[in-house]
Structure 1
Amino acid sequence: MSTEKDYQISPVVQESIVHNSRTLFNFQSLTASLFGVCAGILGLESYTGFLFYIISTLLTCILFYALRIAPSSIASGKAPFDTSRYFRGAFEFWTSGLSGGLAGFILTWTLFYGLVRA
């Protein structure tokens, strides 16, 4: 349990965590749609399309972490891959994009696959 002194040293503001989560969700939804466009244009089908989505989403999370969270974590002396200061938990950060953007990915994937192959 955190004490008052811990909150003074490293304050965690709920509004900031909610804002960060919303920003990450918007970013992952946008990139999922863009990955759907890419998969549709490339003509990917079945498992290869879903594998493309999973790999590209995880790569996006790694790039987001490397560009946004890692520099500030290193500067503050936090452990690597510790996202608890900015998000509700590590699980939310690393896996929320897989389920949150899946519908947008499938929608744009089938749309552009049909447009290109028709």
Structure 2
Amino acid sequence: MASTKDDAAQLIYTPNVQHNGVLNSAKFLSSCFAGAVAGVLGLENWLGFGLFVMSILLSSAFMYAINCKGRPAKYITGGVWELVNPGQDNMFTFVLVWTLFYGIVHVYD
């Protein structure tokens, strides 16, 4: 029973809350980088979104192992699901960067 109370206290522990900002920034940068890669490679339709899904899964695996030390429930309220969830803003960021780089690189194809 004490572990449940300790887990709830860990979610409002200041260093853990600050760590959530690092996780959100990493997910945002992963979305930007995946969008740039998809645009430069000229991926279209589902191939581009497949790259986005793979980048989210890969970055989530790294965050799970390295940043959360295998215990995401200690840092994030939703646990693993919240870690894998790309979020609406990251999806829009991916599409924006994807179309930007696709337009810059493949404008005269």
Supply the AA of the counterpart residue of 2:92.
A
Q: 1:106 aligned to 95, 99, 103, which one?
A: 95
Consecutive aligned runs of 4 or more in structure 1 exceeding 3 Å deviation: none
- Alpha-carbon distance in structure 2 between the residues aligned to 1:39 and 1:12: 38
Identity value in percent: 28
Asked whether 1:86 is paired with 2:85, we answer no
With structure 1 as the length reference, what TM-score do the two structures score? 0.75
| CA RMSD between the two structures | 2.4
Residues 54 and 98, structure 1, Cα contact 8 Å, conserved in 2: no
* Cα deviations by residue, 1:54-100 (Å, 9 ceiling, x for unpaired): 11111111012122223xx5xxxxxxxx42111112221221x2534
- Alpha-carbon distance in structure 2 between the residues aligned to 1:60 and 1:13: 22
Asked whether 1:53 is paired with 2:43, we answer no
Highest Rg: 1 or 2? 1
Structure 1 residues 55 and 100: CA distance shift in structure 2, 3 A:
same
- Alpha-carbon distance in structure 2 between the residues aligned to 1:13 and 1:32: 26
Q: CA deviation at 1:34?
A: 0.8
In structure 1, list runs of 5 or more residues that go unmatched: 74-81
In structure 2, list runs of 5 or more residues that go unmatched: none
* Cα deviations by residue, 1:3-29 (Å, 9 ceiling, x for unpaired): 5xx54x995151334322222111111
Higher relative contact order (CA 8 A, sep 6+): 1
Superposed, which structure 2 residues align to 1:1-118 within 5 Å?
A: 6-7=5-6, 11-12=9-10, 14=12, 15-70=14-69, 73=70, 82-90=71-79, 91-95=81-85, 97-118=86-107
